[in-house]
């Protein structure tokens, strides 16, 4: 059982380049999330998808777009990367509402130079 799988694990981008972070879960979960983690800032919600076909903005959505491709997959796209988007990105999923156990992926380390 793989749980939540994120790719790539590491990526270096030049300012202005675009890229997509992929996330897939095999637990038949309804809700999926993208967070970023920065030193001294904790985890901050970028976007979430409460169920297949819906997406909503979180705390820090600017500069990002998301796609809930199907129930399993939730991707995060940076259209024009900026150094401020250097961070560790975590995908997470849960069966439904927050009181269910939330499972996190192992993280994607992104550096924008």
Partner 1 sequence: TQLLEQSPQFLSIQEGENLTVYCNSSSVFSSLQWYRQEPGEGPVLLVTVVTGGEVKKLKRLTFQFGDARKDSSLHITAAQPGDTGLYLCAGEESGGSNYKLTFGKGTLLTVNP
CA distance 36 to 110: 10
Closer of 18 and 101 to partner 1 (Cβ): 101
Q: Is 92 helix (H, G, I), strand (E, B) or coil?
A: strand
Q: Which residue in 54, 63, 50 sits closest to 89, CA to CA?
A: 63
Closer of 32 and 81 to partner 1 (Cβ): 32
Residue 40 CB: number of other CB atoms within 10 A?
4
Q: Which residue in 86, 76, 77, 79 sits closest to 111, CA to CA?
A: 86
Which residues within the stretch 38-97 sit at the binding site for partner 1 (CB under 8 A)? 40-45, 48, 50, 56, 58-59, 90, 92, 97
14 part of the interface to partner 1, by CB under 8 A: no
Which of the stretches 14-22, 37-45, 66-74, 79-87 binds partner 1 when contact is defined by CB under 8 A? 37-45
Contacts with partner 1, residue ranges (CB under 8 A):
4, 31, 33, 35, 40-45, 48, 50, 56, 58-59, 90, 92, 97-99, 101-107
């Amino acid at each position: 059982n793989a749980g939540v799988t994120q790719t790539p694990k590491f990526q270096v981008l030049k300012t202005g380049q675009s890229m997509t972070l992929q996330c897939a879960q095999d637990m038949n979960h309804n809700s999926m999330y993208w967070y970023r983690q920065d030193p001294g800032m904790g985890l901050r919600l970028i976007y979430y998808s409460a169920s297949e076909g819906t997406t909503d903005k979180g705390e820090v959505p600017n500069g990002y777009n998301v796609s809930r491709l199907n129930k399993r997959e939730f991707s995060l796209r940076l259209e024009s990367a900026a150094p401020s988007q250097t961070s560790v990105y975590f995908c997470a999923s849960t069966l439904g509402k927050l009181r269910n156990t939330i499972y996190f992926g192992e993280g994607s380390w992104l550096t924008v130079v």
